[in-house]
Amino acid sequence: MSTTNIAVLDHDAHGIPAADYVDALRGRLPNRRVELAATPARRRRLLREAAVIAGKELGAENVAAVESLRLFACNTAGADHLPLEALADRGVAVTNAAGVHGLNVAEYVFGWIPTFARQIDEGHRRQQRREWRHFQSFTKLADSTVTIVGLGAIGEAIAERLDGFGTETIGVRHSPEKGGPTDEVVGYGDLTASLPATGVLVLACPLTETTAGLVGEAELDALPTDAIVVNVARGGVVDTAALVDAVRSNAVHGAALNVTDPEPLPADHDLWGFENVFLTPHVAGHTPNYWERRAEILDRVAQTGEYADLRNQVA
């Protein structure tokens, strides 16, 4: 029986079909056999035969079925949903997609911060009304303070792009002693103390026991009333009911949410009704060359045939 080098599980990413990932891998790795698990029967066969599987999820029942697997290339930044111990017991390495989204999400964040600061949204509303009437900018980035919760690849990319705007930046991470590209780095326990000086609160952290509900009523109350919240983390990092109350009572100036809790957001949810809340359906990480950037993570395997010390290896 021949061994399939790389199997791609059939799921999309940001609306881009997995078949495009197959094309990207074949173009980048012309000497490797790449197949798409497009049917249940093919998926069962590829689970047995593939040395490398790329996908979003691989349940424990699938791990029991693999025979030749050496690497699971997870298509998400977080890998905590995977049966890592079971994979390790079978000698399977795991990589994640950390870093692939950094530039994309940073650009998304920079779409919204100037929108609020310069009131571009108000200009758009007046255009829709065909109303030629002056309005003033709400604030300016220079000399403002941006607090970034999470200093992984995404948080660092955001901080680096803020550097030229004259802002003060505060980074929040589990291990502040690691430092980072922000002017100041604090731990999660010091988040609330930094909020009264924060003009923009950017959430770019994973959803964990520590960060679930991290921004609730007390944190939103600690922010200045002219502050904005930008969430590119997970919806559960923010207490949704508390955010609705904060926006409704003008306790914060507004919010840009790429993620929500619940998700998808029900059509009758209160968040849809605010002019100063902008919602996008979890698309901040999209880039037209997303799969090509994912394919780069498999370079070392392709070049050396080794499954240790891989880029983005997490287990």
For residue 4, what pLDDT is reported?
Answer: 58
Q: Region 26-47: what's the mean pLDDT? A: 89
| Residue 256: both structure tokens together | 């840009």
The pLDDT confidence band at residue 3, using thresholds 50, 70 and 90, is low
Which residues, 6+ apart, have CB-to-CB distance to 53 below 8 Å?
6, 7, 8, 9, 46, 47, 66, 69, 71, 72, 73
For 181-201, how does the pLDDT look when each residue is reduced to its tens digit (9 = 90+)? 999 999 999 999 999 999 999
Q: Is the pLDDT of residue 167 over 80?
A: yes
Q: How far, in Å, CA of 206 to CA of 97, rounded?
A: 13
Confidence of residue 2 (pLDDT cuts 50, 70, 90): very low
Helices (H), 66-223: 84-89, 102-117, 120-128, 153-162, 191-194, 217-222
Indicate if the pLDDT at residue 203 is higher than 90. yes
Q: Could you count the other beta carbons within 10 Å of the beta carbon of residue 240? A: 19
Predicted structure pTM score: 0.83
Domains, in order of start, for the chain: 6-100+287-304 (3.40.50.720), 102-279 (3.40.50.720)
Q: Among the listed ranges 26-40, 212-226, 292-306, which one has the minimum average pLDDT value? A: 292-306
Mean pLDDT score of the chain, rounded to an integer? Answer: 90
